[in-house]
Structure formats: C-alpha cells, structure tokens
Amino acid sequence: MNQSVFYTFLQSSLLLFSLLLTPLCAALQITPKPLSASVGNGHFNLTHDSKITFNQQQAQRVAQQLATFLRSPTGYQLPVSQADSTTKNSIAFKIVDIPLSQEGYALSVTPEGVEIQANTATGLFWGMQSLRQLLPAEIESRMPINQANWAIPAVEIKDQPRFSYRGMHLDVSRHFFDVAFVKRYIDWLAMHKFNVFQWHLTDDQGWRIAIDAYPKLTEIGATRPNTVVGHTYDYQPLFDNKTVSGFYTKAQIKEVIEYAQARHIEVIPEIDIPGHSSAMLAAYPELSCHQRAVKVQPQFGIFEDVLCPREDVFAFLGVVYKEVAELFPSQYIHIGGDEVIKKQWLESPEVKKLMQQHQLTTPEQVQSYFIKRVAKIVQNLGKTVIGWDEILEGGVADDAVIMSWRGTEGGIQAAKMGHQVIMSPYQYIYFDAYQSRNLDEPKAIHGLSSLKNVYQYEPQPSHLSAEQQAFIIGAQGALWTEYIKTPRHAEYMLFPRLSALAETLWSDKAQKSWSDYSQYRLPALLKRYQQMHLNTAYSSHKPIISSEVNGQRLVATITSEIADTAIYYTLDGSEPTLQSQQYQKPLVITDETQLRARSYVSDLGQLVGDARLTLSPHLALGKEITLASLAAEGSAIKLQDGQFAYDQFYSVDDYAIFYDTDLEAVIDLDASTQVQQVKLGFDSGRHRQLHPPTHIQVLGSSDKQQWQTLAEVNNPRGPMSVLSFAPVSVRFLKVVAINSKQSDDIQIPKLPLYIDEIAVY
C-alpha cells in the first residue's frame, strides 16, 4: 500500500469511526441521564417536510410546543395534526399505557421517524426535553440558523424520575425580578426536568405579592430606599442610593402560573412568617408585639422584629393566606418559619400571658404554637404546609412537610417522625454560594458549593431505613438573591449547577458518575448554554490550589474538578498566560511565594480563573504547638499549615477560631533557633464576626520558664501583623493575641477571634 493510499484509507476509517461514534455520544449526552438508552443504526433527519402528530387531545399541547420550539432555529413551519399511528418522516406524541411512572416516557428514534410514548402529557413533555438534547446544540438558538442537516441519532430510551419532588427556588424579595425573567427561569427548570418552582415572595427586604385586603403591604412593604453595599453586617455599613421596588399583581401571578402549568411545573408560594417579616411590619406595625414603626430592611440577615402571637395577627394572616390559596392552585403553601429571634416575645407581657395560659415554658414552644395556628389556617383552606426545618422546634404541626435547609439533620429527624421531607441543605444546593475560591468569582453571600459538590449530594441518607427514606420525597435547590441583582448574575450562579442537581433528582442513583457527567455530558450541555446566550460559569474548570506540610517542606498541588484541564501558573504573583509554566507535578515551595494559576478551556479558547495562595515555609512548620485555650474543633491546624488566607475569599475553614477566649500559643522549635520576625495572620475584615485582636505580644524563652518580650502591638490592623525584632536565639516562642470579647450582636454571644497563621522567621 503506497503512502497516499494509506492516508486516504486512514482518513476514511477515521471518518467512519466518527460517524459511528456521533450518535453514541449524542445518546449519552442527555442530562439528566436517562434510566436506559441504547443506540440504533442511522439517524432521523428533521426537514421542512417533517410532520408532528399526536394521538389524543392531551398530547396536542406538547406537540404544538415542539413545533414552536423548532420554528425559530430551523425556520420550518411544521404542521401539527392528530394521527393514531406513526407516519413516516414524523415526530409522534402518544399517550398510551406503558410500564413506567406517570412522569416516565419512552423515546424511539429510527431513520423513518420519532415516537414518544407516555402515560401522561407530563411524560411526553419530559420526553420532548430529551429529544431536544438529541438535536445539534444549535437548536437552542432563538435565531434562524442555516443548517442543512438537523440529524437526530437513532436511539431507544426508557426513562422516569427518581424523585417525585424536583424543586428549585427563587428569592424575589431581596432583589426583584420581573415577569419576563421569571418565565425564563421556568423555561430553564423545564429544560432540566424540574417539576416544582418555589417562589419566595416575602421577606425583610420587600413584599412582592398584591393582597387586595391589605394594600399597604405593597404600597409600603414593596419598596426600600437603598441597599447595603458589601456583605451583611459590615462595620459602619455603606448604602447605595438606589431604590429597590416592585411587586406582582394578581394578573401577573396568574400569568406565571399558567406559563408554568404549560411546562408541567407546580408553583409553590412562600409567605415567610413569623420572622423575616420586616416588610409586613413596615406596612402594618400593629402586628408586632411592640407596635412601633419598623422599616423595610436595607440590610440582609436576621432581625429581631417578628409577628406577635395574638388573635388579631392570626386573623390578618388568615386573610392573607386565603387570597394566596385562591390564587395558587398548588396543593402546598410554604410558610417559612425560619430564623426567628424570640427576644421581642420574651419581652412582651402579652406573650408571657399567652405562655401561662397555654402552659408554654420555652420560646421554642411559643414558635410551635404560632406555626401550628398558621398551619391550621392553611389546612382549613385545603392546602398542605411546607416549612423550613426550624418548625420542628417545640413540636411540629400535623401533616407539615419539612424543608431541611440547615443541613440534613432536620430532614432525618422529620423522616423518622413520619413527616414528608424535602431536602435543601445549604452546604450543597444553595446556589447563592461561591462556586470556586478563585478571585474572579462575582460576589456571593458566603460558603462554597462547587459543581462537583452539588453533583455528589445524595438526598436520602444511607443510615435511614427504606421506610424512612421513602418520606424524603425529593430535594430543592435555592437561589437567594442578597447579592444577585441582575438576570446575568443569576444565570452565572445557576448554570451549570442546575444541571448537576437535576441529575441527582431525576437519574437513577446507581447510574450517576461524576467522570461520565463532567467529561462527556457537561461539555455538550455547555455548548447548548452558549447557543442560549447564557452567562455560564466555568468555575469547575478553574484551578484549586492546596498544600501540605511534609516535615518542614511545603508542597503545593494544583488541580481542577474537570480532569485533564490544562493549568498554567506563576510563582511571583503575576497573572499567568499561555506562555507561563504549565502545571505537571507538585511544587516544593522554598520561600514565601504567591502561587497564582489559571485554566485553559478549549471550548472558550481562553484562560479562566484566578486562583491565588500565599505560601510560606517558615521555622514553625511541623513544630509542636501548645494552646492555653482550645481552638474550635479541627481548626488549630490552620495556625501552622504554611498558608496565609488574606488573598482568599473569606472562609471560616481558613482560620483557627477562639470563641470568647484569647490566643496563647507556645511553639517548641526543638532547639535554640535564631528568630527575628513573627507574622500573625488574622481576618479583621468588615463582617460583624471579624473583630481584630486588641493586642498582640511575642515572647521568647530558652527554658519555657523565663520569658522575654520580643515585640508587641496594640490595636493591630488586619489582615496581618508583622512583628520584627532584633535577632535572638530562643527555643520557645509564645504568641498572645487578645480577643476583644465585645459582642453587641445577640446572635453572637461569644465573639470569635480568627487567627490565620503564626509564621516564624
């Protein structure tokens, strides 16, 4: 075989292989992953001559929805008609009896045509979402595309959801989002096969739903004059001069509900009581125990103002929930019940009298009394109550559904009690958290929930019995919007984490695979997001810098959640480029270094991320350290890990924490050692918890008995104090940092002192 013939043969073989592989990849690239999928031969070509048919009137709307969806990118005006049998060159929607759940579907693609079967129109609709992902990514464009071939690979799919409740939440109180955005939000949920949209309509920062009987709720409660700049509870907070205002009329809410129903999504309203009610009390201050003026809050967090457990308040809420129940067809109404500060109740003579009358001995029992009264109102309206897991405290209302957000413990407790549970733990599926530690991430509230973290979350704890696990009906992600002001920022926080949660809720647990999702299906999904012009986060590709102390050696490692990502780094703090060193193996750090890294994303053709970590292999690494007062569990290691956290996003995990106590650390350097400087890292930040130490002192000793003061400073400025002194030989160093212990926040009775690193040179 001559060379030219060989290369022609090789090219033909590669082309044939790619053609065979294309339908296989396309079938496997559906997210959430189907229950079963097998690849056939060939493909179905969608053309302007294709038809869309349905066999029953219930299936007609789904058929028409597909025709509408296909029209924009293809330009095809595909006819939709009723037909009992599948005809050639058609996409047929059929409601028939199949051995799958009510939301299940069977999707068959052959070169002759496409057929989607289901027991219900809902199943057909989810089947349509899978068919959508079998088409080229360009089908997501809402502009005409001149594409000659809209090929759908031949496949056989049988699919049904794992959980009956697959929810996503949107907070419109902190920042208001108009109806057009809410509809787009619902479209995104439908694409990912979510079936519940929880609408968080009221909170301290704004009341967003019109109530005819109480117009001041929106006349006063829907507007705040400004918003805090920076994170919650900053010292001497600054405020912008921008009014935040807005609410939904009943007509608009009905419009959204109808829009969601057409996409087989249930809309659950949340009216949050008895806490998070500042906006309600601003409109009607007589509903509080103190009955004084209250403002719509321009800051975020938890506030003392709460509704009072009086009969007039319950009558007021009865009218509110009646209007809500009449407006929303959902079986559920979410009543909140979270983060209730009980100080005003304990100070109220009325509440003290109530406690005596009903033999209530704790404020938690007062909360239980309040929640049970409201639950009775909702139940009398023919609805079922959902509440955050705090409603378990003091005794829970009968038949209440528990939404467990503070972790999984509340959900586990509720399941053991026989209550239905919706898991929503903030550590995993709160999408207002940061997606990476990289400094190019937009401002988020706090915490870290990466794409992999979301994907690996499991809603049903394995230690529960099968009977107890059955009470966990699903899970719900949350998008709180304290720091999310725009639709583009919301998109960034949602995508692609929404897809990871979708797979957790829909797909069979045994078939889930991070490598399969991240390596094969996520890239295909990201291409669709590009066609949809979504502001997608590529945070999972960004570098993750870590280090470990090995003796007195400090070794740094750079990884990424996405395997085989090319990472480029510098050791002088400069911005990495494609001409910088590419990371290949762990780095031994010999001097104080700011390690900085970025990742290359081939689909974007650019570097992303800005990971930074300052590392210092100082004299105290690996040495014995003794603390006079114990640090919070597991945190003492941060005093000698060689990492400074001042160029990181604030994370509690970066610090040794001393609650209401001082730092007094004695370091044994093993032998007489010349030292001349100590760097003490601490985060004085601007957050309410981050108070600097009032005094820092460094002392030296040769025998641990006689101590000499080497350096000290009063009222140091953060995030680091550098205490230099004349070189001296000592074996022991004592470092003291005094906690101010001056907490003026009821939520923080014991003020923490956050210490980053004690670096000795």
Active-site residue list:
203, 276, 339
How would you classify residue 29: left for phi > 0, otherwise alpha for psi between -120 and 50, otherwise beta?
alpha
β-strands 566-570, 581-582 pairing: antiparallel
Q: Among 403, 387, 400, 406, which residue's Cα sits nearest to residue 272?
A: 387
Polymer length of the chain: 761
For 95, residues 6+ apart whose C-beta sits below 8 A from its C-beta are 55, 56, 58, 59, 117, 118, 119, 120, 121, 124
> Is the separation of the CB atoms in 79 and 71 below 8 Å?
no
**Alpha-carbon span 527 to 228, nearest angstrom:** 37
Contacts of 228 (CB under 8 A, 6+ apart): 234, 237, 238, 239, 298, 299, 300
| 76 bridge partner residues | none
State the Cα–Cα distance between residues 130 and 145, nearest whole angstrom.
21
Tell me how many helices (H) and strands (E) the chain has.
Answer: 19, 36
Q: What are phi and psi of 350, to 5 degrees?
A: -65, -40
Distance (Å, rounded) from C-alpha 462 to C-alpha 181? Answer: 38
How many CB atoms within 10 Å of residue 387? Answer: 25
Q: Is 245 helix (H, G, I), strand (E, B) or coil?
A: strand
Helices 179-191 and 487-494: crossing angle in degrees, nearest 10, is 20
Residue 63 neighbours by CB under 8 Å, 6+ apart: 52, 53, 54, 80, 91, 93
Q: How far apart are CA 713 and CA 723, in angstroms?
A: 8
Q: In this structure, which amino acid lies at residue 135? A: L
Q: Which two tokens stand for residue 574?
A: 């400069």
Hey, what are 527's tokens?
Answer: 């291409």
| Cα 506 to Cα 159: distance, rounded to the nearest angstrom | 9
Is it true that the peptide bond before 32 is cis, omega within 30 degrees of 0? yes
Paired tokens of 239: 């405020």
- Within 8 A by CB and 6+ apart from 756, the residues are 638, 643, 644, 645, 646, 654, 655, 656, 680, 681, 682, 683, 719, 720
Q: Are 209 and 324 in contact (CB under 8 A)?
A: yes
Whether the Cβ atoms of residue 611 and residue 542 lie closer than 8 Å to each other: yes
227 close to 239: Cβ distance less than 8 angstroms: yes
Three-state SS for 530? helix
Q: Identify the CA nearest to 673 among candidates 636, 637, 710, 626.
A: 710
Collect all residues with Cβ–Cβ distance below 8 Å to 740 and sequence separation of at least 6. Answer: 691, 692, 693, 694, 751, 753
